[in-house]
């Protein structure tokens, strides 16, 4: 295999870290700038920021919204940067009945809730790949869940008071992705009926997990619940994204990256 494009002095390959929107990344690029400086590579209308943050060599970027954007971005991370693994952070709509706004979901598995090539292939199955649920990397996801638990233990009470939410909880399970912002009681109920174990809905995770599966790259996905995918979702999402999402990302990613050093 040819030498990795991005590696630190010890030959350690970089970790790919991405989110859909800038607010979901928190201060990660600024923290990288302060710690190591940043080299920015522009590819396919995206900026890839290379450097070290919280002690870990990373390439940090924004996927933008939706499954195509996510797949294109993670493909570039794999091919142009030869990332050793991929971590995605962002917000999601809560689907599980006990998943509340402010809770955190670490994906064990991901699937596309809007993929339906039936009757040619079973509903939800990726045609010709024969996979419906993509399993997140167990070790990476466990590290991410540990970082979330630590963040909640250390900052949960302050967060709940500051943002007037319940004490955050960390869930692990199925995250579902589709090219729709889900924003009605009927739509979220239909998702619950079709996929009773789904915890959260978003628009990128399963695409990232599929590309990582196809190239054998470990991936993990963490989502903070910004809304409950009902009629209140647009306002709840907008407020959460502006006021809160960055605090969660900073708190989770700093602990996760420091623990990898
Ligand atoms: N991301 C955050 N909230 C969402 C929702 N309700 N639907 C899809 N993606 C989301």
- Pocket probe for ligand 1: among 93, 107, 114, 177, the residue whose CB has the most ligand atoms within 8 Å is 93
The 3-class SS string of 159-178 reads HHHHHCCCCCCEEEEEEEEC
Q: Is the pLDDT of residue 6 over 80?
A: no
> Please, which residues bridge with residue 40 across strands?
49
pLDDT tens for 126-183 read: 999 999 999 999 999 999 999 999 999 999 999 888 877 889 999 999 999 999 999 9
What's the pLDDT at 165? 81
Closest protein CA for atom 4 of ligand 1: 93
Strand pairing category for 134-135 and 219-227: unpaired
Q: Which two tokens stand for residue 129?
A: 């790949």
Q: Is the pLDDT of residue 2 over 70?
A: no
3-state helix, strand, coil in the chain (%, to 5): 40, 30, 35
What are the two backbone dihedrals, phi and then psi, of residue 45, each rounded to the nearest 5 degrees? Answer: 65, 20
Q: Which atom in ligand 1 lies closest to the alpha carbon of residue 202?
A: 9
What's the pLDDT at 12? 78
Report yes or no: 201 and 93 within 8 Å, Cβ to Cβ.
Answer: yes
Q: Is the pLDDT of residue 111 over 90?
A: yes
Q: Is the pLDDT of residue 76 over 80?
A: yes
What's the pLDDT at 258? 95
pTM for the model stands at: 0.94
Report yes or no: 49 and 61 within 8 Å, Cβ to Cβ.
Answer: yes
Q: Is the CB of 204 under 6 A from ligand 1?
A: no
What's the pLDDT at 241? 94
Closest protein CA for atom 2 of ligand 1: 92
All domains in the chain, ordered by first residue? 15-259 (3.40.50.1580)
pLDDT tens for 194-243 read: 999 999 999 999 999 999 999 999 999 999 999 999 999 999 999 999 99
Determine the distance separating the centroid of ligand 1 and the alpha carbon of 234, expressed in angstroms: 9
């Amino acid at each position: 295999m040819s030498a990795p494009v991005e590696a630190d002095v010890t030959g350690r390959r970089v970790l790919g870290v991405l989110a859909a929107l800038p607010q979901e990344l928190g201060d990660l690029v600024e923290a990288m700038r302060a710690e190591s400086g940043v080299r920015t590579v522009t590819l396919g209308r995206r900026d890839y920021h290379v450097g070290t943050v919280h002690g870990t060599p990373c390439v940090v970027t924004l996927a933008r919204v939706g499954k195509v954007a996510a797949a294109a971005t993670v493909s570039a991370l794999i091919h142009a940067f030869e990332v050793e693994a991929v971590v995605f952070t962002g917000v999601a709509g809560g689907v599980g009945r006990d998943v509340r706004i402010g809770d955190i979901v670490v994906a064990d598995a991901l699937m596309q809730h809007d993929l339906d090539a039936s009757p040619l292939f079973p509903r939800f199955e990726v045609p010709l790949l024969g996979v419906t649920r993509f399993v997140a990397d167990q070790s990476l996801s466990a590290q991410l869940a540990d970082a979330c638990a630590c963040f909640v233990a250390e900052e949960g009470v302050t967060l709940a008071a500051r943002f007037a939410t319940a004490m955050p909880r960390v869930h692990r399970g199925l995250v579902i992705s589709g090219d729709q912002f889900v924003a009605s009681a009927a739509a979220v109920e239909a998702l619950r009926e079709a996929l009773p174990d789904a915890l959260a809905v978003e628009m990128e995770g399963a695409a990232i997990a599929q590309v990582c599966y196809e190239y054998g790259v470990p991936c993990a996905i963490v989502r903070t619940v910004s809304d409950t995918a009902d009629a209140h979702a647009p306002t709840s999402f907008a407020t959460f994204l502006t006021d809160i999402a960055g605090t969660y990302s900073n708190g989770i990613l700093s602990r996760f990256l420091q623990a990898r050093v």
